[in-house]
Amino acid sequence: MTASRKIFKGLIHTFLGSYTGKAVNFVSTILLTRALLPEDFGIVAMALFLASSAGLIKELGLDYALIHRQDNVDEAGAAHFFLSAVTAAAAFVLTVILYFVLRGHYDPRILLAMVALSAVFTLRSLSATSRVMLEKDLRFSRLAWIDTTSNITTLILAVALAWLGFGFWALVIAGSVNSLTYILITSVRYWSSHWVPFRTSVDREMVRWFFSYGKWILICALATLIVLQYDSFMAGTLLGVATLGFYERAYRFSQYPTDSITHVVSRIALSIYAKYQDDKTELTHYFSFFLSMIVRIAFPLCAVIFVFAGDIVDVVFGPKWLPMVSPLRWLLGYSLLRPLYDDTGAFFTAIGKPKTISLILSVQAVIMFVLVPFLTWSFGIVGTAVAADIVMLVGVVLAYRKVSEHIDLKYGKIFVMPSVCVIIAFLCYYLVFRYVSFGLPVVNLVAGAAFFLAVYGAVLMYFERDEVRKFYRLATEKG
CA 298 centroid distance within chain: 13
| Residues recorded for the chain | 479
Q: DSSP assignment of 100-114, as one string?
A: HHHBTTB-HHHHHHH
- Residue 294, pLDDT above cutoff 60: yes
* One-letter amino acid for residue 310 of the chain: G
Q: What does the pLDDT read at residue 420?
A: 93
Determine the Cα angle at 395 with ends 390 and 399, to 5°.
155
Q: Mean of the pLDDT values across residues 3-8?
A: 53
Q: How confident is the model at residue 345 (pLDDT cuts 50, 70, 90)?
A: confident
H runs (alpha helix) in 36-72: 38-54, 62-68
Q: How far apart are CA 202 and CA 146, in angstroms?
A: 29
Please spell the DSSP secondary structure of 289-354, one letter per residue. HHHHHHHHHHHHHHHHHHHHHHHHIIIII-GGGGGGHHHHHHHHHHHHHHHHHHHHHHHHHHTT-H
**E strand or H helix at 252:** helix 241-254
Q: How far is CA 431 from the centre of its chain?
A: 35
Q: Tens of pLDDT along 119-174?
A: 888 877 776 666 666 665 555 555 556 666 666 777 778 888 888 888 888 888 87
With bands split at pLDDT 50, 70 and 90, how would you rate the model's confidence at 465?
confident
Res 1 pLDDT > 70: no
Is it the case that residue 15 has pLDDT exceeding 90?
Answer: no
Q: Could you tell me which residues are beta bridge partners of residue 103?
A: 106
Contact yes or no for 117/141 (Cβ under 8 A): no
Q: Which pTM does this prediction carry? A: 0.76
pLDDT of amino acid 289: 83
CB 75 within 8 A of CB 203: yes
Sign of torsion over alpha carbons 106, 112, 113, 117: positive
Candidates 372, 366, 367; CA nearest to 386 is 372
Predicted local distance difference test score (pLDDT) of residue 119 = 85
At 43 the pLDDT is: 93
| Whole-number pLDDT of residue 229 | 85
Reported as a pLDDT band with limits 50, 70 and 90, residue 356 is confident
Is residue 407 within 8 Å of residue 283, measured between CB atoms?
yes
- Please say if the pLDDT value at position 201 is more than 90: no
Residue 197 predicted with pLDDT over 50: no
In this prediction, residue 73 carries a pLDDT of 61
pLDDT tens figures, 19-36: 565 676 777 778 888 888
What is the DSSP secondary structure assignment for residue 439, as one 8-state letter?
S
Phi, psi angles (nearest 5°) of residue 336 = -70, -40
d(CA 232, CA 144): 29
What confidence category does residue 181 fall into, taking pLDDT thresholds of 50, 70 and 90?
Answer: low
Other Cβ atoms less than 10 A from the Cβ of 101: the count is: 10
Could you report the per-residue pLDDT of 59-117, keeping only the tens digit for each?
666 666 676 666 666 677 677 677 777 888 888 899 999 999 998 888 899 999 999 98
- Please, what is the end-to-end C-alpha distance for the chain in angstroms? 5
CA 255 – CA 335 distance, rounded (Å):
5
Percentage above 70 pLDDT, the chain = 73
- Which among 148, 232, 132 is positioned nearest to 191, based on CA atoms? 132
316-338 pLDDT, tens digit per residue, is 888 889 999 999 999 999 999 99
- Nearest CA to 448 out of 458, 457, 438 is that of 438
User: 421, 456 in Cβ contact below 8 A?
Assistant: yes
Dist CA 420 CA 388 (whole Å) = 26
Helices 73-102 + 108-125 axis angle, to 10: 170
Residues 6+ apart with CB under 8 A from 302: 257, 258, 332, 335, 336
Do the Cβ atoms of 300 and 418 come closer than 8 Å? yes
Whole-angstrom Cα Rg for the chain? 22
Look at 350 and 199; give whichever has higher pLDDT: 350
CB proximity list for 272: less than 8 A, separation 6 or greater: 7, 286, 350
Report the b/e string of 418-447 with b at 16+ CB within 10 A.
beebbeebbebbeeebeeeeeeeeeebbeb
How much is the mean pLDDT over the chain?
Answer: 80
- For 288-314, letters b (16+ CB in 10 Å) and e give bbbbbbbbbbbbbbbbbbbbbbebbbb
